Chains A and B, each alone.
Chain A
Amino acid sequence: MTDLPQAIAQSHSKRANIRHRPWVRVCHWIVTLSFFALTFSGAEILMVHPRLYWGDAGNDLTPALFELPISRNYQHGGWQKPEPFFKTASAPVSASRTYDIFNKNGWGRSLHFLSAWLLVITGLVYLIAGIVTGHFKQRLWPHTSEFSASVIRKDFIRHLGKMPVSADGERYGPLQKYTYMTVIFLLFPLTVMTGLAMSPAITAAYPFLLKMFAGAQSARTIHFFAAVVLLLFLVVHVVMVIRSGFRQQIQAITWGK
């Protein structure tokens, strides 16, 4: 084996005058930790009720948008005969559950909210620091030339081919900028807002949250899809890190080297 990869890395680090700032590195890893805890506990919470709805009300006795076969609670059918509340046709019903469902929400919910606190506090610090230090403007906001379709097409094709090993000395590419901006300014805020829209106390104080997402159950469904897109981002992100020099990238985001 030759020393070629190392030589490339060295040549890169020589002209690496843009490094990940210390607060970026700290925020990155705290958000990573809280994201894993949120995904883990979120999956547990979804397993307890693997049905998703639209609107304000949704439960086992109302139709679902779709159901996920991810726990023994899926279509368990353990209900006594439904009884209508009113004497009208198609009146809403009540039924008693006879099935001992899977439910670990005691720790699931508390872990979810604890990690949400970590995410929200770190996220706020990151947003403020990003604005104050000019980080967003300098590193994430696309250059005027990067709004063109041909530049984006070229960048996309570049991602399909062999990628050069690069440390943090590189400027972000246009697709990378668009992706990070979507994650930071759209997907994370969306998961937080839809999460808050499920809270009875918070929606009492801020009813616009229910209006904004067309109801508590719609918010839950959007929360789920936003989380799925964030997980897809994670997969692509990790693949790109591996393809562009895993060791160098990890060192850059951890120690700033």
Chain B
Amino acid sequence: MKKKHHITRRKAIIEGVGALGALLLTGCIKKAPPTYGNILRMGDALTYAAHRALLPGQSLVKEYQHSDISAFPATGTTNPGDPINRGDHKIPYSEEYARLHKASFKDWRLSIEGSVARPGAYSLADLQKFQSRTQITRHSCEEGWTAIAEWTGVSLGRILNDAGILKSARYINFYAYDGYMESIDMLDAFHPQTILAYGMNGQDLPIAHGAPLRLRVETQIGYKSVKYLQRIVVTDEFVDNGDNGWAWYTGI
């Protein structure tokens, strides 16, 4: 049995290439969000620095009454497992998501990796065992519209602590089944209203809104609230996937 753990040259090469590939996949790693010499990204960086320097840390966003709940458009990806979308590279299709959806997400697991003492995989039932938080908040889309909904879930900070987040951690990266990726800093990650939501308006989170689990970052614009969560990677440095043309920090 011990032979299994021997590091042969062939294995070392294969694993080395694999690790390099993984590194290329996740992109370059940097200390802070880069500006790419782009004046627009410099403006975004100024906004980020100013918000962090001037705003009192972790103020709570306004919470609304149940009667304030409004209609809520589902935009962006509205079902990564919809076979109609297969072949259209603008709308990503995930066979794995379709399979998990078919089994009512019983086999779905949220993987937590990176700078944590206890990396692991959480099922929906695991997440629902933690103390829940319900909040009625306003979603601000970058397009200009807003919508109010009630979200139920578990505080992201609670889960990160459960996984034993390391002191060196600086960024939390979210990967979704539709191929989408976003990251936030520690201030937003441990904001009391930043939750991993499995419920919306008193029901299970609908497919169109990111079932079975989505992120809610209430202090930023809607596109930071990643739908269809697959895995969370905690990193000590900024994971740079290149300039996608959109501001990384969108508290404004």
Contacts and interface: CB of A to CB of B under 8 A. Distances in A.
Interface in B40-66: 40-44, 46-47, 51, 55-56, 59-62, 64
A114 B50 CA distance: 12
A201 B43 contact: no
Interface in A52-94: 56-62, 79, 82, 85-86, 92-94
Given A96-B78, A117-B46, A201-B220, A57 B147 contact: yes
A201 B208 CA distance: 26
Interface string A197-211: 011111111010010
Contact of A92 (B61, B71, B140, B251): B71
A199 B221 CA distance: 8
A46 B42 CA distance: 23
Interface stretch (A102-110, A174-182, A245-253): A102-110
Contacts of A97: 73-75, 78
Nearest to A48: B143
A201 B220 CA distance: 6
B142 interface: yes
A110 B247 contact: yes
B62 A92 contact: no
B208 A203 contact: no
A95 interface: yes
A97 B202 CA distance: 23
Contacts of B78: 96-97
Contacts of B251: 199-202
A191 interface: no
A109 B143 CA distance: 9
Contacts of A106: 244-247
B146 interface: yes
Interface in A153-187: none
B74 A107 contact: no
Give the interface size class of chain B: 35 or more
A200 B78 CA distance: 24
A194 interface: no
A63 B143 CA distance: 17
Contact of A58 (B40, B146, B202): B146
B180 interface: no
Given A94-B73, A95-B73, A205 B56 contact: yes
Contacts of B69: 85, 92
A86 B150 CA distance: 12
Interface string A95-123: 11100110101110111011001000000
A45 interface: yes
A220 B145 CA distance: 10
A113 B47 contact: yes
Given A56-B148, A59-B145, A210 B62 contact: yes
B7 interface: no
Contacts of A199: 251-252
Interface of A: 45-46, 48-49, 51, 56-62, 79, 82, 85-86, 92-97, 100-101, 103, 105-107, 109-111, 113-114, 117, 198-205, 207, 210, 216-217, 220
Given A100-B90, A204-B55, 13 more contacts: A45-B144, A57-B70, A60-B145, A86-B202, A96-B74, A96-B78, A106-B244, A110-B41, A113-B44, A114-B42, A200-B251, A204-B59, A210-B62
